[in-house]
Amino acid sequence: MFNIFTRLFGSWQNILIGIPGTLIALAGHEFAHGLVSDKLGDPTPRSQGRLTLNPFAHLDLVGTILMILTGFGWAKPVEVNPRYYKNPKAGMAVTAAAGPLANLIMAFIAMLLYAAFLVMNIKLNLGWYGAVNTVGSILSFFAFRNLCFMVFNFIPIPPLDGAKVLGIIVPNRIYYTIMQYERYSMILIMLLSISGALSAVIGTGVNFFMDGITNLLNGLIRIIV
C-alpha cells in the first residue's frame, strides 16, 4: 500500500501533504459545482448535503482508487437538475465549468501565498530559507494537484466537465448524442488513465498554467522587491 501511495505522491514526505491537499482540491471542486447550481435555482445539491467542503461527502470509490493507481481520478459527481435553470444548456455549462475554475483559483491562491511568504522573508531579512523551501513545497504541490484536476476535468469527454462546457457551442443534436454515450466514455477514461495515455495531455496543460502563474507572480515579486 505504501508503494502505491509513493507512486502517486512521490515520497513519504509528499504523502503527508499530498493526501490532505488532494482531499481539499476535490472538495473545493465539487462544492463549486453545487454552489453555482444552487445559485441558479437548483435545490438538488443542497438537499443532498453537497454544499459542504467536507471531502468525505464527495469521495467516489472508483475515482479514488483510480487516483491512487494512476494519479488521475474523480470525486462523486454533484447531482444537479438543469430543469431549474432559466437556460438549461447554458446553466449546465456554467455549473460544469465552476469545478475546474475553482481548482484554478485554489492553485493561484496557493502560489500567491508562497510568493507573499517569499517576499516577506526578503523584505524583512528573516533568513527563513528552510521554512521558505518547506512552505514552497507544500503550496506548489497543492497548486499542482489542483491544476491536474482542472486540466483532467476540462477534457471534452463525458461525463467530465469539459463535455458539458462544450455543449454551449455545439448544436443540441450533437451535444445530446455525445451525452448518450456517457456510460461507455467512463470506461474509455479509465482505460486511458491506467494506460498512461492521458499523462502527456494533462502534463502539457498543467505545465502551461503553472508556468503562466509562476511568470505572473515572478513579475510581481520583481516589482515589489
Catalytic residues: 30
Q: Rounded to whole angstroms, how far apart are CA atoms 156 and 162?
A: 4
For 45-66, give one letter per residue: b (16+ CB within 10 A) or e: beeeebbeeebebbbbeebbeb
Q: Rounded to whole angstroms, how far apart are CA atoms 129 and 144?
A: 22
The closest of 98, 87, 84 to 168, measured between CA atoms, is 87
User: Phi/psi of residue 103, each to 5°?
Assistant: -65, -40
Query: Would you state the cell numbers that stand for residue 186, as one nine-digit string?
Result: 467512463
Residue 107 near residue 146 (C-beta atoms within 8 A)? yes
